[in-house]
Amino acid sequence: MSKRRMSGIAVAGVATLVVAACGSTSGGNGSSGSVGSAKTLVGSGSTLVAPLIGVWQPTYQKATGVTVTYGAIGSGGGIQAITGRTVDFGASDAPLSPAQATACKGCLEIPWALAGVGIAYHVSGVPSGLHFTGPVLADIWLGKIKTWNDPAIASLNPGVKLPSTPIVPVHRTDGSGDTFAFTNYLGQVSPQFKAQIGPPAVTVAWPGGVGGKGNSGVGGVLASTNGSIGYITMAYVLENKFDYGLVQNAAGKYPAPSVATIEAAAAAAKSVPSDGASGVSIVNPPASAPNAYPISTFTYVLIPKSTSGSVAAALKQFVSWAVTTGQSDGPKLDFAPLPPGVVSADQAALKLIG
């Protein structure tokens, strides 16, 4: 593992803490019960979308004079924060469950970014681009496949010399939308995984492996542990130059996670509701989308309908900018632009705020 890779992970971790600190110390305006104002918006949640928000922040402040601070604390933390109204907006890669939606008391969930969850690994002497299927990944995280030269992996990668190194599956320890997307995918392709682990969730009871907090925590374990494999947003995979796998989709293809293949997954999905009332799963797209990356996901901004005054106006302006102009910043971080139909649905949902 190179010093450059370790340095990148360390920088990413420090940046997350700095942004989180900014979000947690911003003062309130008192009059509306919100922690923000027309010139300041405070949010927290998803670490998956944090790199994109980090690019948006200075650009948006320069264009509008509005400061957006954001704490990358995980999707579960973002849901809790917006439910408790300690922030102006939350961010989650997982749609709200019925219980969470009730507790959030009228929160809209608006898709504002489109990304992929990558399968990164660190195995000395093994090249990037190993092939995996969903059932093989499920068996790795269930602890059934224990070494890198297991026949189930070897048969998918003829000609690759695989060592007998023990496999160390890595998972998130915090409430994570990456975990939701990954368990949603594995539950669809592996009945045994669904039966043992249960429905998709931001936290699940993994039967083994090693945990890390946030994408930077998972990345740290990957960087320091030979034989490790983890699920982690592609922005972090690319930033830290991890080796990553190609996952077979329903059409039997192994598309590399990219802007184009993530877009293909979104294009195969059902339309997004314009009332901000529910999320849409785009994992495991059908065989009719042969170029689609199978572990793609929308990530959502969570906003209370009852937000009022200058904060409501500022939120609507910021999110409207994010789902339109802000989408141009996504591809360099491997975030695909939102499809036009999703943008239209988002704009309709924003009109419900206030």
Looking at residue 272, its pLDDT comes to 73
pTM of structure? 0.84
Which pLDDT score is estimated for 37?
60
What is the Cα–Cα distance from 134 to 248, expressed in whole angstroms? 7
Q: pLDDT tens-digit profile of 72-130?
A: 999 999 999 999 999 999 999 988 989 999 999 999 999 999 999 999 999 999 999 99
Per-residue confidence band for 195, with pLDDT thresholds at 50, 70 and 90: very high
CA gap 97, 115 in Å, rounded: 21
- Where is the domain boundary, 262, 283, 308? 262
pLDDT at 277: 74
pLDDT of residue 36: 54
The answer to whether the beta carbons of residues 242 and 122 sit under 8 Å apart is yes
CATH number of the domain residue 122 falls in: 3.40.190.10
Q: Distance between CA 28 and CA 41 in Å, rounded?
A: 10
Angle at CA of residue 334, ends 206 and 134, nearest 5°: 35
Q: Are 289 and 264 in contact (CB under 8 A)?
A: yes
Tell me 2's DSSP state: -
Amino acid 236: pLDDT: 87
What does the pLDDT look like over 250-280, one tens digit per residue? Answer: 999 999 999 999 999 998 876 677 777 777 8
At residue 25 the predicted structure's pLDDT band, cuts being 50, 70 and 90, is: very low
Last residue of a domain, one of 262, 285, 320: 262
Question: What residue numbers bound the domain in which 46 lies?
Answer: 3-114+297-350
Task: Output the average pLDDT for the chain.
Answer: 88
**From CA 281, how far away is CA 298, in angstroms rounded?**
8
Q: Do 125 and 237 belong together in one domain?
A: yes
**Cβ partners under 8 Å of residue 136, min gap 6:** 145, 152, 153, 156
**CB-based contact 200:180 (threshold 8 Å):** yes
Please state the φ and ψ torsions of residue 295, each to the nearest 5 degrees: -120, 60
Residue type (1 letter), 264: A
Residues 256 and 130 in one domain: yes
CB of 219 closer than 8 Å to CB of 212:
yes
Compute φ and ψ for 137, nearest 5 degrees: -60, -40
- Whether residues 127 and 110 fall in one domain: no
What are 215-251's pLDDT values in tens digits? Answer: 899 999 999 999 999 999 888 898 899 999 999 999 9
Residues 248 and 307 both lie in one domain: no
Number of domain units in the chain: 2
Residues 110 and 128 in one domain: no
Domain co-membership, 9 together with 126: no
| Consecutive H or E run containing 315 | helix 309-322
